[in-house]
Amino acid sequence: MRFERARTNEQRQERKKEILKACATLYDESGIDGVHFKAVSEITSFVRSTIYTYYKTKEEILLDLLLEDIKTWSSDVHFIIETHDVLSKEHYCHELTNTFVNNTRMLQLMSILYSILEKNCSLEKLTAFKSELTGLMRPLITSIDKYFPDSDDDSKRTFFYTLYCFVSGLYPTTNITQKQKEAIKNSGIDFHPVDFGTMCYKGLYALASEL
């Protein structure tokens, strides 16, 4: 089959979508170790050299996949704003927790964003990611302003920044492997498994105490 070079921006975007779809399939099946250019080429119409035209590393593909997941999450937060004129602190934290629970792949990728993904991306790619990310955070900022109008700016800012650190750190500690569970048991540590959703709500409510 003769390969046709993408000549228009629309064609290039369609090819990137195909690569991202393949990446999502591989990641969902095998995690980050299952994502590599050879595997992507095997389930798309592209050879590896073509994939390099769009992405230099697998981490750059995963960064775009994370961005797509954040778009979905951002839309979920926007839906809260559109459907609730007023929310108590408890209700707001419940609603926000649900947006995270419903986007677990985003949480997985967020947990390795700084330690793995960003380290293996070009400056150009990373800059573009952060620029788009800024806009996607707008619904969260809007929700904080809307439901806590009497809170001061410093408290709102603190909640916004600590929320990310808390959620991205919480997810991997509440979703450990069987081997990790066995190691904890063998070490004699008094370990009690915790549910991400439950702990996320409790943590967000604690972080929102100053709002």
| Angle value at C-alpha 120, between 56 and 5, nearest 5 degrees | 10
Mean local confidence (pLDDT), 27-37: 95
1-54 with 58-210: one CATH topology? no
pLDDT higher than threshold 50 for residue 1: no
Span of 46-50, 68-72, 104-108, 123-127 with lowest mean pLDDT: 46-50
pLDDT higher than threshold 50 for residue 10: yes
Is residue 112 classed exposed, middle or buried when 0-12, 13-18 and 19+ CB atoms within 10 A define those classes? middle
State the DSSP code for 151. S
pTM for the whole structure: 0.91
Do 183 and 142 meet the contact criterion of CB atoms below 8 Å apart? no
Mean local confidence (pLDDT), 138-163: 97
Domain boundaries, the chain: 1-54, 58-210
pLDDT higher than threshold 90 for residue 108: yes
* Cα–chain center distance at 17: 18
Whole-number pLDDT of residue 2? 42
| Angle value at C-alpha 132, between 161 and 155, nearest 5 degrees | 20
- Per CATH, the number for 58-210 is 1.10.357.10
Do 148 and 86 meet the contact criterion of CB atoms below 8 Å apart? no
Residue written as tokens 């409790």?
202
Give dist(CA 74, CA 135) in Å, integer: 9
Whole-number pLDDT of residue 4? 52
pLDDT higher than threshold 80 for residue 22: yes
pLDDT higher than threshold 90 for residue 11: no
Two tokens, residue 19: 């690569």
Residue count of the chain: 211
Percentage of the chain exceeding pLDDT 90:
82
User: What's the pLDDT band for 140 if we cut at 50, 70, 90?
Assistant: very high
Measure the N-to-C terminal CA separation of the chain; round to a whole number of Å.
61
| Angle value at C-alpha 163, between 161 and 166, nearest 5 degrees | 115
Our separate counts of H helices and E strands in the chain read 11, 0
Q: pLDDT tens digits for 170-200?
A: 999 999 888 988 898 899 888 888 899 999 9
Architecture of domain 1-54: Orthogonal Bundle (1.10)
Mean local confidence (pLDDT), 55-83: 97
Whole-number pLDDT of residue 7? 65
pLDDT higher than threshold 70 for residue 5: no
State the DSSP code for 117. I
